[in-house]
């Protein structure tokens, strides 16, 4: 059960990382986490509101060192940033402007794939990108389902924040192509 952290433990690594280290053989290093997160950049053309929210996600990821249970919140934040970026891109492209209701995440993801806004080749974790964009096609449902499971209640705790931050950055950078900024 999650407990309120004691004041004396606020700046100490979350013990769950130490438990994971017994399996992985690696204890997270805060300086290395900061450095790795600091190397993930958004393009200069990305709107300031998106950059700001992306930095919130990176800071949350950094602070998960002290509170492991922030990791699912980082994951959820990455999904909401992707959705926000998709809305801005769709608006910029004049998509759905006369509709009474905005497009929801799954429709926005599908639109991004069909319009070629995102491609497998734009994601750093895909070593051999498919020209048919197989990964992007599968993530239409995957990202939507993962976001919904997080947004509507879940007790799942997984240590993966870095991959989510990278996918978020790669996704946004494809929506707003240009030079990388710091």
Q: Higher confidence at residue 125 or residue 151?
A: 125
Q: What is the pTM of this model?
A: 0.89
**Residue-wise over 150-168: b if at least 16 C-beta within 10 A, else e?**
beeeeeeeeeebeebbbbb
Strand, helix or coil for residue 43:
strand
Residue 182 has pLDDT above 60, yes or no: no
* pLDDT-derived band at 2, boundaries 50, 70, 90: confident
Q: What pLDDT is stored for residue 42 in this prediction?
A: 97
- Which candidate, 145, 167, 163, 141, places its Cα nearest to that of 154? 145
Using one digit for the tens of pLDDT, what is the confidence trace for 104-141? 999 999 999 999 999 989 899 988 888 888 888 888 88
CB 103 within 8 A of CB 95: yes
């Amino acid at each position: 059960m999650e407990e309120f952290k004691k004041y004396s433990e606020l700046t100490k690594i979350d013990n769950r990382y130490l438990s994971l280290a017994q399996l992985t053989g690696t204890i997270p290093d805060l300086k290395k986490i900061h450095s790795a997160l600091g190397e993930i950049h958004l393009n200069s053309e990305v709107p300031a509101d998106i950059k700001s929210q992306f930095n919130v996600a990176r800071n949350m990821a950094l602070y998960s060192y002290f509170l492991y249970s922030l990791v699912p919140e980082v994951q959820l934040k990455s999904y909401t940033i992707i959705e926000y970026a998709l809305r801005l891109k769709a608006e910029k492209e004049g998509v759905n402007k006369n509709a009474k209701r905005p497009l929801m995440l799954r429709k926005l993801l599908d639109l991004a794939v069909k319009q070629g806004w995102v491609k497998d080749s734009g994601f750093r974790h895909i070593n051999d990108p498919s020209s048919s964009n197989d990964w992007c096609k599968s993530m239409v449902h995957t990202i939507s389902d993962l976001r919904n499971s997080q947004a509507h209640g879940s007790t799942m705790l997984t240590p993966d924040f870095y991959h989510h931050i990278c996918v978020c950055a790669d996704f946004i950078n494809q929506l707003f192509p240009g030079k990388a900024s710091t």
